[in-house]
Amino acid sequence: MNQEERKQYVRFRFVADKGQSPVRIDRFLVDRIENASRNKIQQAIDQGKVWVNNRYIKSNYKVRPSDEIEVLSFEEPKIYEVIPEDIALDIVYEDDQVLIINKPAGMIVHPGVGNYSGTLSNALAYYLGNEIHKGDRHPYLVHRIDKNTSGLLLVAKDEDSTRFLSEQFKAHTITRKYNALVWGRPTEDTGTIETNITRSNQNRKVFTVTHEEEVGKHAITHYRVIEDFTYVSLVECKLETGRTHQIRVHMKHLGHPLFSDEMYGGDRILKGVVFSKYKQFVENCFKMMPRQALHAKTLGFIHPKTKEEMFFDSELPNDFTQVLNRWRSINKAYDFSKED
């Protein structure tokens, strides 16, 4: 396969950070390719499907700073067409370069296996009059939030704006603040969680903190407690990095999983003595908000054309507000601590 032929089969492309420490290529890729096991990646390497700096490499190759890595598709590249769909959008702001969307919980951002319709990409394609096909990505989603996380998303409308905004994400100068309802109360009212995050060996959909320096991706979350409800707390989380499930993983690592977060164990009573009245109260809250209590509330960036600072803030959605109000009311009416 020559250089030009290879380009037609590239499925993933990565550039190692300038500060990248030496790490085996399979470990490097397993943290960056969704649903890929180390065994599958090693097979791809053995089959000549992984190239570094335009050269085929062996499985014991160690990634170095600024390496350019390409992973080729096992099959003929599949071309998916994102069909424009008339789906209502909550547009917070729009101009010729950017679009700010307040995404509801339950909406997937990008199409994927089993989810080719009903996504934010389908809705944007319809709204902007663009058909997204043959590998094109218009409009440009420069970041994402989980399906069951609500809140603000930044969309670029052209390639120049995409590059400008992407550089801000890489430099960690984008302001992103989330509100999260977590089990318990952190010991300190403010703090910083700094770890590496990697996929769990037991469940590839779940991420976990790792203490191995060369494994996973570096992640930093700053937090502060906003309100204390005895057994749960409303916390503001400010992202310095933007790793998959970062807040959910970091708060669990701190000992305070997100309320109603099934994937990370927050969908059961973790704080408080389980007596009938309290148990019923919590179960009602779970029914009211059957998803992780996480909302992307604030977004700040430098505008790609005007170069002015822009900040946007969003209200908590109804399910989040209703659960918070229930915790506020029950704490005023009943002292749970008497049951300890």
Question: What is the C-alpha to C-alpha distance for residues 181 and 328, in angstroms, rounded to an integer?
Answer: 12
Find out whether 117 and 85 touch, Cβ atoms under 8 Å.
Answer: yes
Residues 6+ apart with CB under 8 A from 280: none
In a domain, 179, yes or no: yes
From 149, 170, 191, give the residue that closes a domain: 170
Note the pLDDT of residue 33.
Answer: 79
99, 148: one domain: yes
333, 189: one domain: yes
In a domain, 86, yes or no: no
Instruction: Count Cβ atoms below 10 Å from residue 179 Cβ, excluding itself.
Output: 22
Find out whether 270 and 256 touch, Cβ atoms under 8 Å.
Answer: no
261, 297: one domain: yes
Find out whether 132 and 81 touch, Cβ atoms under 8 Å.
Answer: yes
Q: Which two structure tokens, joined as six digits, stand for 47?
A: 């089959």
- Residue 257 region by backbone torsions, left for phi larger than 0, else alpha for psi between -120 and 50, else beta: beta
Find out whether 241 and 218 touch, Cβ atoms under 8 Å.
Answer: yes
In a domain, 81, yes or no: no
pLDDT digits (tens, 9 = 90+) for 73-112: 655 444 456 889 999 999 999 999 999 999 999 999 987 7
Domain containing residue 20: CATH number: 3.10.290.10
SS3 at position 168: helix
Angle at 171 (CA atoms; ends 165, 174), nearest 5 degrees: 55
In a domain, 159, yes or no: yes
From 170, 188, 217, give the residue that closes a domain: 170
From 170, 186, 211, give the residue that closes a domain: 170
249, 333: one domain: yes
Amino acid, res. 283: E
185, 166: one domain: no
Q: How far is the first Cα of the chain from the last one, in angstroms, to the nearest whole number? A: 69
Note the pLDDT of residue 330.
Answer: 85
Find out whether 213 and 21 touch, Cβ atoms under 8 Å.
Answer: yes
Question: What is the C-alpha to C-alpha distance for residues 86 and 123, in angstroms, rounded to an integer?
Answer: 6
279, 297: one domain: yes
77: Cα separation from own chain's centroid: 26
145, 267: one domain: no
**What residue numbers bound the domain in which 32 lies?**
3-72
318, 213: one domain: yes
305, 209: one domain: yes
In a domain, 80, yes or no: no
In a domain, 79, yes or no: no
pLDDT digits (tens, 9 = 90+) for 144-195: 999 999 999 999 998 899 999 999 998 999 999 999 999 999 999 999 999 9
Which of 26, 31, 67, 146 is an active site residue? 146
Which of 201, 326, 182 lies closest to 257, judged by CA?
A: 182
Domain containing residue 286: CATH number: 3.30.2350.10
Give how many domains the chain has, as a whole number: 3
277, 254: one domain: yes
Q: Which two structure tokens, joined as six digits, stand for 155?
A: 């969309």
Instruction: Count Cβ atoms below 10 Å from residue 205 Cβ, excluding itself.
Output: 11
Pick out the chain residues at pLDDT < 70.
1-10, 34-35, 73-81, 113-114, 130-139, 333-340
Question: What is the C-alpha to C-alpha distance for residues 308 and 302, in angstroms, rounded to an integer?
Answer: 5
* Catalytic residue list contains 146: yes
In a domain, 272, yes or no: yes
262, 320: one domain: yes
Question: If residue 328 lies in a helix (H) or strand (E), which one and from where to where?
Answer: helix 318-333
Question: If residue 280 lies in a helix (H) or strand (E), which one and from where to where?
Answer: helix 276-288
37, 166: one domain: no
Sign of CA dihedral 250, 254, 258, 260: positive
